[in-house]
Structure 1
Amino acid sequence: MTTPTASFAGRTVRRIGYGAMQLERLHDRRDEAVALLRHAVELGVDHVDTATFYGFGFVNDVIRETLRDDDGVLVVTKVGADPDPGGPLPLRPAQRPEQLRASVEDNLRGLGTDRLDVVNLRRLDTGPGLRPHGDQVVDLDDQLAVMTALRDEGKIGAIGLSSVSLDVLRRALPAGIACVQNAYSLVSRDDEDLLRLCLAEDIAWVPYFPLGSAFPGLPKATDEPAVHAVAESLGITPSQVGLAWLLHRAPHVLLIPGTASAAHLAENMAVGRITFDADTLATLDAVESRSSEVPIG
């Protein structure tokens, strides 16, 4: 069985990509970071997710050094937050139009390119993490105006959204949206209506926290007895069960699991070959969904 594919920003990509944030764990071992990303491409990764604030620019530097034009990798980055080393995440909202433009320019420089394939506008409306306050509460239309201007200028190939509500997505549809990144997993399925709207509109659904939230006290798929039982019966890991469930959920779901381990990377890539029968899916679908809403800031 070959790795499944799906449409994304006018291209066909494999449904298992790579979330590059974990490369920042190799900050003091740059050669290892480059080798791991190169290995990901060799394993078939053609969709990489990044941001300027990952490792305060280190991750984009690694991507620029590693990827070649003939690799054919779709690189997706994001705007809407800036580094804040002293903060609790450590990020601060950067939602104003001039900040979004500045973040796009930072990504262009960091990735060493004159055009970003896809840029996600992280709105901070929903999901765990930051919430905007004061002058960071910005109308969607003002944000989309600068994003579409950047697309018209050729600096952005396609626009995505992240951490958005159903209403925001509906309002944004006329601008042309390529993907939505929201927190979504087996144990946190608040956004079923969003997922269905994306399917109807041919918008890629790219969940972050695909195994549950990294914040303490919030649900994790790998803590579920049903997940462990399925993993044991199939001879796979609980993490693979959680990721494979997402691929079974809908055909427009794309995964971007991150890791700093070559062995873990191979496990993630193998998820595309995992199949569930109807009884197994029913068992997993019956797992309770809990909210992952944890506003910070």
Structure 2
Amino acid sequence: MAEHLQPPQAQDHQPGSEKEMAPRPDYIPRHPGADKLAGKVALITGGDSGIGRAVAVAMAREGANIAFVYLDETEDAAETEKLIAEEGREAISFAGDIGDEAFCKEVVAKTVERFRTLDILVNNAAEQHEVADLTELTAEQLERTFRTNVFGYFFMTKAALPHLGEGAAIVNTTSITAYNGHQTLLDYSATRGAIVSFTRSLSQRLMERGIRVNAVAPGPIWTPLIPASFKPEKVAEHGASAPMERPGQPNEVAPCYVFLASDDASYMSGQVLHPNGGSIVGS
């Protein structure tokens, strides 16, 4: 099934730019909206590209206004804002580092100031860096990966909680690597495992407030993080090991987030969905 894989390519800056990918990922929702999120406001980290962009567009199609955060990919962010507007919804974006708690507080405050409410938080932004051996993993990289992938989720959730009421939803992005591991993504895999535990623990803590907390654990998905993380020859093999023998597209993952954020998932909290191309993973 090599025809379903992607050509070799590379980018030299994390988390990567969607406009530089060839072919571009599929992010447009496959079906008409059904107003599942009508009147809601969603805040999405890493919403400029990849899975985050697909989630932003899908939630906009379902009726939500969107605030999203990105690091420094201004062209991707502008395109995402345009896509949200084409769905008839409003968008606001923020450039900055979610590893900075003050920035997270500012994002939430400005989102609530603009839209007067906050109903959905999607913690999605992440970074990953290959190392061939644990001895090559520097303290700086370890701290940086955890600051983005774990601290950032804590900071944004902490800032959002005072504004989330009964019926609100938090959806965290984890990864198949939290369950299966990854021999060259040691620190990244550890952060994704931490987010599974964070999701389960926070779900228990917020149950009495009527706030649901769930997660999505994607498998190999065609996003800018892939050419920004791996060598070209490895990019060309991305997804080949999945049972479906191909990488997934962001619009094949986004419906999981819409479902978990909507009333369709009203009896689900502390759970993880697995759009991963058919891999069977433990609970």
Do Structure 1 and Structure 2 share a fold, with TM-score over 0.5? no
Output the TM-score relative to the length of structure 2.
Answer: 0.38
Specify which structure has the bigger relative contact order, considering alpha-carbon pairs within 8 angstroms and separated by 6 or more residues.
2
Which structure has the larger Rg over C-alpha atoms? Answer: 1
| Larger strand fraction of residues | 1
